Structure 1
Amino acid sequence: MTQKIEGATPSAIRNTSAVSSARVASGAERAKPVEATESDSLRLTGEATGLQTLQRELASAPAINQARVAEVKAAIDAGTYRVNPDAIASRMLELDKQLGG
């Protein structure tokens, strides 16, 4: 996954005279929030927006599928649970491809 950071050009970064005069001293002053100005702006890329949506979906989903856990436990107890090595291998290869392997 690649990310592109868009924003200030190198020449704009070097010209920090307005920012350097507003340096914050160490100590309690750092705990204060920075006030936004009317010129402040934020633009999210499509990828960032998609990641925010995914984060919201994952936050609302349960971490463990209790119904599936109960199903597997019952199959193990009954002796009917079967491991499918081909399915495991293909999913491992699929994950490897997704991770760029």
Structure 2
Amino acid sequence: MTHKIDGGGASQALRAAELSSTSTARTHAGGDRSQPVAAATPADSMRLTGEATGLQALERSLGGGGAGLDVAKVNEVRAALADGSYQIDAKQIASRMLALESELLK
């Protein structure tokens, strides 16, 4: 026994009947579609700690780009690096690193 399956016939008639029996302003579940859907209120909330607030303030104050940056000095160092005349003083670097470490340990 074989059955021919086609896209029309009873299934299309049933679907047309369903559509005509429902109002265009109502969903199948009975909700009103004539008004915009209100967004659900968020259930989650977030509160920043004092440290996070301080970090945000610091980021805003430093976010000005080149604030406190000596552009002339940067260009001078770039030129010295490019022509190979930039000299590195390892003793000065080491002493500054040690001074920074002692400041951090206080």
Output the TM-score relative to the length of structure 1.
0.37
Output the TM-score relative to the length of structure 2.
0.36
Query: Which structure has the larger Rg over C-alpha atoms?
Result: 2
